[in-house]
Amino acid sequence: MSSLFRDDLLAGKVALVTGGGSGIGAQVARELASLGAKVVIAARKLERLERAAAALSEELGTTVYAKSLDIRDRDRVQACVSEIIAELGPIDILVNNGGGQFLAPAETISPNGWDAVIATNLTGTWSLTQAVAKACMLKHGGRVINITMLTGRGFPGMAHSVAARSGVEAMTRTLAVEWAQRGVRINCIAPGLVASSGLRTYPAALGILERMPAMVPVKRLARREEIAWLVAYLASPAGDYVTGQTWTVDGGHDLWAEKWPIPDPKDLGPAVPEVDSWE
């Protein structure tokens, strides 16, 4: 049962959530299913995904379905979309939460590392969005919610991922205009620091996890539910007049916190440099 919305808010809707086996994706799947949607979670590792689907099904008293899907594989993307439509009906809600990256200084990112992150986070999101749109949403309408990251000030240590996610946000703005008259609403959610399995991206030796709450003005990490609630809002009738937007959910982090240490040079110079007089 949702703690925020009525139980039948999304009754009869079919939702596909990529990366739905853990973290934010699992919470999104839980929220949408609790609101009456038929939910399919998809990811590459089917065995772990099936365990997650079984656990959610038992918890919620409704079936949550699992589909093996590597969003980098265009043929599999097409096949997966066709399977879901054949088994459950047209897809009404697509949550593009699947992705992956690794923390690395830009100069150390290899060509293969760069290509893999772009293929997963940008190209994979595009391939699945286009496949779902062409198969059903451009005919019947629907909602697409893309989970991105904080991109407004860049993201030192994540040059590959912030480039991909910025591309998704630009794509979202573009598709929002192209598909508006087809009944498709498409938005992004940019989470800040969320207490979820995604924190494993940060090596423990860097001590980032311990410093995270202090880096946020509200002095805590986001809960997974706080991301899932916004997904549910955008997927619901309340979100019908909202499209092409990126919603930042970060407790003010992007407005304030330092993310990347920059040492001072030995000769920093005076705090207030001298200026020539106009006289």
Q: Terminal CA-to-CA distance of the chain, rounded, Å? A: 72
**Residue-level pLDDT at 81:** 98
Centroid of chain to Cα 150: 11
Distance from C-alpha of 219 to C-alpha of 181, rounded to nearest angstrom: 42
Is 94 a domain residue?
Answer: yes
What is the residue-wise DSSP string for 218-230? TSSPBPHHHHHHH
Residues in the chain: 279
Domain count, the chain: 1
In a domain, 18, yes or no: yes
Segments forming the whole domain that contains residue 32: 14-256
Cα 217 versus chain centre, distance: 22
Sheet holding 246-249, edge to edge: 64-68, 38-43, 14-18, 93-96, 142-147, 184-191, 246-249
Separation in Å, CA 132 to CA 25, 125, 139: 18, 11, 11
Q: Give CA separation, 167 vs 2, 39, 80, 170, in Å.
A: 32, 27, 24, 5
Q: What is the pLDDT along the chain (279 residues), one digit of tens a residue?
A: 777 888 899 999 999 999 999 999 999 999 999 999 999 999 999 999 999 999 999 999 999 999 999 999 999 999 999 999 999 999 999 999 998 888 899 999 999 999 999 999 999 999 999 999 999 999 999 999 999 999 998 888 899 999 999 999 999 999 999 999 999 999 999 999 898 876 666 666 556 677 788 888 889 899 999 999 999 999 999 999 999 999 999 999 988 866 677 777 777 666 555 655 545
- The enclosing domain of 50 has a CATH number of 3.40.50.720
| Domain-embedded: residue 191 | yes
pTM score of the predicted model: 0.91
Per the CB < 8 A criterion, the answer to whether 104 and 113 are in contact is yes
Residue pair 225/3 in contact by the 8 Å Cβ criterion:
yes
Assigned domain for 266 exists: no
The answer to whether residue 201 sits within a structural domain is: yes
* Residue 273 maps to a domain: no
Residue for token digits 């991105």? 148
89: left (phi over 0), alpha (psi -120 to 50) or beta: left
270 occurs within a structural domain: no
Judged by DSSP in three states, 179 sits in coil
Q: Are 53 and 133 in contact (CB under 8 A)?
A: no
Instruction: Classify residue 5: in a domain, yes or no.
Output: no
Q: Identify which of 172, 149, 182, 181 has the alpha carbon closest to the alpha carbon of residue 250.
A: 149
Q: What's residue 200's pLDDT?
A: 63
Within the chain, strands assigned E span: 14-18, 38-43, 64-68, 93-96, 142-147, 184-191, 246-249
